[in-house]
Each structure stands twice: as C-alpha cells, then as structure tokens.
Amino acid sequence: RAQPKKKKKVDVKKEQAQKERMKKKLKKLEKAAPELIPIEDFITPLKYSESNRVRSLPPLSPEEAERRVLLLKKWCLFKQKQDEAEKKAIKALVESQQEALKELQLESEELYQAAIRRDEGLFPFEREGPSYTPPLPGYDPPEGKCIDTTKVYTQ
C-alpha cells in the first residue's frame, strides 16, 4: 500500500523540478537579445587580405593622362546635364499634378477628396528589371535543379 503513495509523491516532485528547470532555461534564453544574421557581402574573405600579389601598372604618358582628364570632365558634364534633366522632369510632374488637382477641386469637391486619398491597391508593387537578352522563343533548356545552399545561422 505504501508503494503507490511513494510513486505519486516522487513523480509530482520530479515533475515540478523539471518544470522549474525548464522555466529557468526559458528565462535564460529569453534574456539573450536576438541577433541579426551576419551579411556575407560585407565580410571580405581572408584569401583576399593575406595575398602578396600587388598589381603594378605601367606609367602613363602625358598625352594619355591629358586624354583621360578631358574624358572625365566630359563625363562629369554629361552626368550633370542628365541629373538636371531629371530634376526638371520631377518638377514638371509635380507642378502639372498640382494644377490638375486644383482644377479638380474647382470642378467637384468630392472627386478632389477621393483623389487625395491614398491608394490601397498600389502596394505591394513588383517589377522585374529590363534584360539585355529576353528569353529565346524556341529554346529547350537541359533538365536540372536548383539547390538552396544558404548557411543557416542559429543562436
């Protein structure tokens, strides 16, 4: 008769002790702040920093240096013109938009209020970049597969 009683007590105590241990572990793990995954792009691999290979370029002739400087100046001017054109385009867009909204407000207040509101259907917005070589129409690709080999970091 005494044995089943012992089993109950011991079990309950053991269970309680286990629970407390688990709670302590949980507290400890939760205390540690979550860490960000390190980004491999920003870590230079060691093999590029330990090598002794140094590139020695041939000296430039003065004509070549002159040509390069003039080319750089032309490129700077081209880029400046491009940037100014972009700024002008943005200004024009904003101005025409404001004018259109003004006219709309004069026409009807309701439509103006509806136009000012934010568009819920705009986001999420996805677009693929243009490609040099669009896919060929009659191309038969060989069979294959893609394996994801990203390193999984755990804390």
Partner 1 sequence: GALLGCHRSYRSRPTHGIGRFKYLLPKEVPKKRKEKVQMKEISAGTEYQYGDLNIQMTSYDLCLVEHFAQYVHRLCNRLSIRVNDSYAMPTKTNEVLFLEERGSKMQLDAVLTTHQRVIQIRGLSSTFAPILLEIIQSNQPEGVHLLMKQHTEADFKSRLKARPELEELLAEMS
Contact residues for partner 1, defined by CB under 8 A: 22-23, 25-26, 29-30, 33-42, 86, 90, 93-94, 97, 101, 116-119, 122-132, 142-155
Pick between residue 32 and residue 57 the one whose CB is nearest to partner 1: 32
d(CA 80, CA 87): 11
CB of 71 to partner 1, least distance (A): 21
d(CA 15, CA 6): 14
CB of 26 to partner 1, least distance (A): 5
d(CA 106, CA 83): 35
CB of 29 to partner 1, least distance (A): 5
d(CA 79, CA 85): 10
CB of 113 to partner 1, least distance (A): 10
Pick between residue 54 and residue 152 the one whose CB is nearest to partner 1: 152
**CB–CB of 104/111 below 8 Å?**
yes
Pick between residue 70 and residue 114 the one whose CB is nearest to partner 1: 114
Residue 104 burial by Cβ neighbours in a 10 Å radius (0-12, 13-18, 19+)? middle
Pick between residue 56 and residue 150 the one whose CB is nearest to partner 1: 150
